[in-house]
Amino acid sequence: MWKTIVRRILILIPQMFVLSVFLFLLAERMPGDALTGMIDPTTTRPERLEELRHQYGFYDPWHVKYTRWIGNAVRGDFGRSFYHKLPVTRIIADRAANTFWLGLLTVLLIYLIAIPLGITSGRFHDKPPDRAISFYSYFAMATPTIVLALFLIPLFAFRLGWFPFGGSVDPRAFSQGGIHYFLSRLHHMLLPAMTAALVSTAYIIQYLRSEIVDYEQSDFVTTARSKGVPQRQIYSRHIFRNALIPVASFVGYSITGVLSGSVLLETIYSYPGMGELFVSSITLRDYPVANALILLFAVLVVTGTLLSDIILRIVDPRLKIK
Amino acid sequence: MSGNILEIKNLVTSFRIRGDYYAAVDGVSLEIKPNEVFAIVGESGCGKSALALSILRLHKGFYTKVEGSIFFKGRDLLSLRDDELNDVRGKEIGMIFQDPLTALNPLMKIGAQIEESLTIHTDYTAAQRAERTLELLNSVGMPRPGLVYGQYPHELSGGMRQRAMIAIALVCKPSVVIADEPTTALDVTIQAQILDLLRDLQRQTQSAVILITHDLSVVAEMAHRVAVMYAGQIVELADARELFHNPKHPYTRSLLESNPSSSSSGEGFLHVIEGMVPNLDRLPRSGCRFSPRIPWIPDDAHEADPTYRTVAPGHLVLCSCHEHFRFSDERGTSHALA
């Protein structure tokens, strides 16, 4: 298993190289630069702009620029944001922490909701509990996150007042620190996490349900019945364990999904996360930030896939060998 | 009970097809004696497996209806509640399935799958269960039983898996073992080993074996008595020796004739039975069900309502058409086969 992990990480290096070149060229092709929008043409002479462009190396050939960029990036320096005038790593680090905690909570909620509901749905398929759960699933699948948020915010944030409608922490709790800070963070995350989870659970519920229904018909279940295994144990020992394997391997992918941040979710809840940062960095032509984010997302995708593979190897004995 | 360990009376097992129930097993009555190997033979689709699964009510899904009665040790298995039947399943009646790959849980170690019955049916301690399992792995001829105990099904070969399957069926020392095509999914060389094993184990354990197969050589090798099934009915029942030496029913005789090693058609011809077993929903439900496949036998040779006739002690044949059946007649018609 360690061999596999090391091999996968080694493959990551050429992948990232190719991606970074491609990415850099794309950003390079985009019209405009950071200076165009940032300096007031009525007070700044165009000659001064040209001077600055030369100074920042804007007219250097792309491979020179690329080598400069990637050389620094390898050392952990992604340059400074044109817009925020801060090191890219610091901007991303702040946002990444926000997104990470929100993502973690979302994944936790997804599986806390999906596994019991999926199991109930499969166990009692075509009976009232399954009908109710399936109704919810189809409803959730058909509802875009943003629409759900537009219903949840007025209800829970304004009418009931249970949750804040935006932000990531209460300023008072921020100054108090400690447990107050933590609780306030959690309080701010619950509604966005719930919104994302309610929609994503539907797929896992339906998948788990159909796995369970399939396994009920499998030969080894007939064998278990021929041994006199009671119905409850047939499900707990034989069916659920088999049905949960593919679902367990989804965990890696869902972590990738939520860690890249959701632009819509973060925007509508004005939650300062990476999705929101990514979109704003593109609209502001803040390429140092955008490039660094895309590289980070790529690493997330690969590690998420790797994580799924590792989980699969842990839970499925058929994959343990070699 | 008159010395029978299992008595099947007028068993009708029906499957639902597009809203209607069709009987795959249509009025079968059988008596199984202790310590005998009772074979049920027939083509695919004649109801053998449906019959085997009916005994422990193991059919999948809700689309099956099992009627009649199956007496085991004085109780009708078909009228038992599920939890009562679970006390019989695996403990008193063991079951061996056809495909040992799909019939084993891929996520459970072999040892655990064998021990599961012991956990349910006995109050053995964990150590006693392990001891019994290892002893059994030894007696089913499993190479390196200590290692296999902790292995998963995918780590074993087909033959080893079937040995594990046999161990699962035998672990609680059942008095009846139902083997549903136990060698069909195996290589020919492994088939012979597994058959030898089953025969040896049957002699040791003295349990009755109901052997479901379409392979007459398996029957010849193992069975004491044989029932030949066609289209949901038993058409002939006899001691194995009697059946092979003195087959009566046209279907039995055709089956024997179709066996490459015993074919008397000669000159490289293999006897083939005309037609095929009809689908459940097209099955003729009255008269002799085999008549469409021997069309040269005149209609009045069949009984309108076929009954069993005793042709020798313990030898029963359904319908009177066997009295008129000769292979040479078939060759005289357009049904000659190359």
Interface membership of A232 toward B (CB under 8 Å): no
Residue A225 has its nearest CB partner, among B58, B105, B107, at B58
Residue of A nearest to B115 (CA): A227
pLDDT tens digits, B34-87: 999 999 998 888 888 899 999 999 987 678 889 999 999 889 999 999 889 999
Q: What is the pLDDT of residue B337?
A: 43
What is d(CA A214, CA B18) in angstroms, rounded to the nearest whole number? 21
Mean pLDDT of A212-231: 92
Which one has a higher pLDDT value, A51 or A201? Answer: A201
At A113, is the pLDDT very low, low, confident or very high (cuts 50, 70, 90)?
very high
At B338, is the pLDDT very low, low, confident or very high (cuts 50, 70, 90)?
very low
pLDDT tens digits, A248-301: 888 888 888 777 767 788 888 888 888 888 888 888 877 788 888 888 888 888
At A40, is the pLDDT very low, low, confident or very high (cuts 50, 70, 90)?
low
Interface membership of A242 toward B (CB under 8 Å): yes
Query: In B, which residues are within 8 Å of A227 by CB distance?
Result: 89-90, 116-117, 120, 168
Mean pLDDT of B260-287: 71
CB contact under 8 A, B90 and A316: no
Which of A92-106, A169-183, A197-211, A278-292 is predicted with the least confidence, judged by mean pLDDT?
A169-183
**pLDDT reading at B263 higher than 60:** no
Residue A220 has its nearest CB partner, among B82, B105, B117, at B105
Mean pLDDT of B184-210: 89
Mean pLDDT (chain A) is 82
Interface membership of B106 toward A (CB under 8 Å): yes
Which one has a higher pLDDT value, B94 or A308? Answer: B94
CB contact under 8 A, B104 and A242: no
Interface membership of B122 toward A (CB under 8 Å): no
Q: What is the pLDDT of residue A32?
A: 65
CB contact under 8 A, B116 and A224: yes
State the sign of the Cα–Cα–Cα–Cα dihedral B141, B143, B146, B148.
negative
Interface membership of B83 toward A (CB under 8 Å): yes
Interface membership of A127 toward B (CB under 8 Å): no
**pLDDT reading at B335 higher than 60:** no
Q: What are phi and psi of B220, to 5 degrees?
A: -60, -35
The segment with the largest mean pLDDT, out of B10-24, B246-260, B321-335, is B10-24
CB contact under 8 A, A242 and B107: yes
Three-class SS of chain B: CCCCCEEEEEEEEEEEECCEEEEEEEEEEEEECCCCEEEEECCCCCCHHHHHHHHCCCCCCCCEEEEEEEEECCEEHHHCCHHHHHHHECCCEEEECCCCCCCCCCCCCHHHHHHHHHHHHCCCCHHHHHHHHHHHHHHCCCCCHHHHHCCCHHHCCHHHHHHHHHHHHHCCCCCEEEEECCCCCCCHHHHHHHHHHHHHHHHHHCCEEEEEECCHHHHHHHCCEEEEEECCEEEEEEEHHHHHHCCCCHHHHHHHHCCCCCCCCCCCCCCCCCCCCCCHHHCCCCCCCCHHHCCCCCHHHCCCCCCEEEEECCEEEECCHHHHCCHHHHHHCCCCCC
Q: What is the pLDDT of residue B162?
A: 92
Which one has a higher pLDDT value, A219 or A282? Answer: A219
Which one has a higher pLDDT value, A260 or B275? Answer: B275
Mean pLDDT of A28-53: 70
**pLDDT reading at B10 higher than 60:** yes
Q: What is the ipTM of this complex?
A: 0.87
What is d(CA A296, CA A293) in angstroms, rounded to the nearest whole number? 5
**pLDDT reading at B210 higher than 90:** yes
Q: What are phi and psi of B298, to 5 degrees?
A: -60, 150
Q: What is the pLDDT of residue B92?
A: 93
**pLDDT reading at A321 higher than 60:** no
**pLDDT reading at A322 higher than 60:** no
At B93, is the pLDDT very low, low, confident or very high (cuts 50, 70, 90)?
very high
Q: What is the pLDDT of residue A174?
A: 66
State the sign of the Cα–Cα–Cα–Cα dihedral A265, A268, A274, A278.
positive
Q: What is the pLDDT of residue B262?
A: 54
Mean pLDDT (chain B) is 87
Query: In B, which residues are within 8 Å of A241 by CB distance?
Result: 107
Residue of B nearest to A213 (CA): B61
What are the DSSP E strand ranges found in A98-155? Answer: none
CB contact under 8 A, A227 and B152: no
Which of A3-12, A112-121, A274-283, B222-231 is predicted with the least confidence, judged by mean pLDDT?
A3-12
Mean pLDDT of A5-9: 81
How much of chain B exceeds pLDDT 70, in percent? 93
pTM of the predicted model as reported, rounded to 2 decimal places: 0.80
Q: What is the pLDDT of residue B267?
A: 56
Best probe of the B interface among A215, A219, A223, by most B CBs < 10 A, is: A223
What is d(CA A90, CA A93) in angstroms, rounded to the nearest whole number? 5
Query: In A, which residues are within 8 Å of B103 by CB distance?
Result: 219-220, 222-223
Residue of B nearest to A219 (CA): B103
> Tokens standing for B47?
């109801």
DSSP A283-314: HTT-HHHHHHHHHHHHHHHHHHHHHHHHHHHH
What is d(CA A29, CA A25) in angstroms, rounded to the nearest whole number? 6
Residue B58 has its nearest CB partner, among A217, A220, A226, at A226
pLDDT tens digits, B109-133: 999 999 999 999 999 999 999 999 9
